[in-house]
Structure 1
Amino acid sequence: MEFLQQNWYWAALAVASGGWLLFDFARTQGDKSQLSPVEATLLINREDAVLVDVRDQGEYAKGHIPNARHIPLADLERRSSELEKFKDRPIVLCCASGNRSGAAVSALKKAGFEKLFQLRGGLFEWEKAGQPVSRKRK
């Protein structure tokens, strides 16, 4: 007890960080549309999911997930017909950090797509997880 009294700030920091981790865990458990890089890889390999990169051309050229289809977010509504043939397959949307892919999910839901997923953390988390990145131009 004396240790806690002398080091209350460390104890408070431990409680706060533990609470934040618990909050973040609970928040992501309810949203099954957000996939980690490993979950996305499993979905691609097991269910033949289609990966769509919604970043702009310059970002895509600097590096992208191998075999990702490139449809910039600004063009997604106009080019959603390119994805029609994949309507019965899961579609994983990817951007740089996970923000634009959320908007892409909304746009494709409006277009009638149902099996939509988002790469949590985008290409940043993908690379951080040690997953492959291609720099080849298509």
Structure 2
Amino acid sequence: MEFLAEHWQWTLLALASSTFLIVDTIRQATDRSSLAPLDVTQKINREDAVVIDVREQGEYAQGHIPNAHHFPLSEFDRRMAELNKFKDAPLIVCCATGNRSRSVLTKLRQAGFEKVFNLKGGIAEWEKGGQPLATGRKAKGKK
């Protein structure tokens, strides 16, 4: 107890860090809006989910999920109305790592889209999971 009293700053920092880790772990465990690559594939195949890729043109051209619709983040707000035709379908939003797509997920929910999901880990995880990528019209084989 003497150590804790003398080093209260470190104790407070350790307590805050532990709390953050616990809250983040719980949040991730209960987050049903983030899907692993295999879950995304199942949603596409079983529920005709629509994939929205929000990466910029150069990233998208290097490889994207087959049949993904390209809505670069820099144009997203201006073009979001184009997605209204998919309002009843499950939407899966993806980017390189899952961070940019998370902000788009929030915008879509605010606009009334109810079935929106984020590709957990983005295209990086998609590739790591051995899922196919397309460039132009040709499919890029599994790695």
Report the TM-score, using the length of structure 2 for normalisation: 0.76
* Pairs aligned (count): 117
1:110 corresponding residue in structure 2? 110
Unpaired runs of 5+ residues, structure 1, are: 1-21
Unpaired runs of 5+ residues, structure 2, are: 1-21, 139-143
Counterpart code for 2:86? F
How far is the alpha carbon of 1:107 from its aligned partner?
1.3
1:83 corresponding residue in structure 2? 83
Distance 1:106 1:24, change over 3 A: closer
Cα distance in 2 for residues equivalent to 1:79 and 1:56? 14
2:12 corresponding residue in structure 1? none
1:100 corresponding residue in structure 2? 100
1:134 corresponding residue in structure 2? 134
2:121 corresponding residue in structure 1? 121
Cα distance in 2 for residues equivalent to 1:23 and 1:74? 32
Report the TM-score, using the length of structure 1 for normalisation: 0.78
Q: State the identity %.
A: 56
Computed over aligned residues only, the root mean square deviation of the Cα atoms, in angstroms, reads: 1.9
1:8 corresponding residue in structure 2? none
